[in-house]
């Protein structure tokens, strides 16, 4: 795993921190592989922390949506941490609040499970 992502485990919840200012298509393959590995390890409660990101492109978000469908099919859920207004606006414009519950920090995301 590169320095672009960190993983922390909190009981049955797995948190993935995206350490990219711009999460782009070029980062999506590695991110998708990481999500797949985590899901295959039977973690179905995931938190994706985008607090470091200033921008997230549609390809990267698409990987999150695909993962959310896999997790939901197994009665799990993905929550997202988005404290920055510009990233919140991207999610809002794409209608992603219907798919992801958004929190402002890790503790709130953990508590929402």
Q: Cα-Cα-Cα-Cα dihedral of 5, 100, 35, 31, to 10°?
A: -50
CA–CA dist 99, 95 (Å, integer) = 8
pLDDT number for residue 59: 94
pLDDT number for residue 97: 86
CATH of domain 5-111: 3.30.750.24
For the cut 70, the answer to whether the pLDDT of residue 6 exceeds it is yes
pLDDT number for residue 1: 56
> What spatial distance separates the first Cα and last Cα of the chain, rounded to whole Å?
27
In the chain, domain spans: 5-111
With vertex at residue 110, the alpha carbon angle to CA 1 and CA 51, rounded to the nearest 5 degrees, is: 55
Looking up tokens 């992801």 gives: 100
Model confidence, pTM:
0.94
Per-residue pLDDT tens over the stretch 48-102: 999 999 999 999 999 999 999 999 999 999 999 999 999 999 889 888 888 899 9
């Amino acid at each position: 795993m590169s320095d672009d992502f960190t993983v922390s485990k909190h009981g049955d919840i797995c948190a993935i921190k995206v350490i990219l200012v711009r999460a782009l298509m070029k980062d999506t393959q590695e991110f998708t592989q990481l999500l797949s590995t985590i899901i295959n390890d039977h973690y179905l409660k995931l938190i994706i922390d985008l607090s470091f990101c200033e921008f997230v492109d549609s390809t990267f978000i698409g990987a999150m949506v695909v993962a959310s469908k896999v997790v939901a099919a197994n009665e799990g859920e993905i929550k997202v941490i988005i404290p920055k207004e510009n990233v919140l606006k991207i999610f809002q414009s794409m209608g992603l609040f219907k798919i992801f519950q958004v929190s402002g920090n890790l503790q709130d995301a953990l508590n929402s499970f």
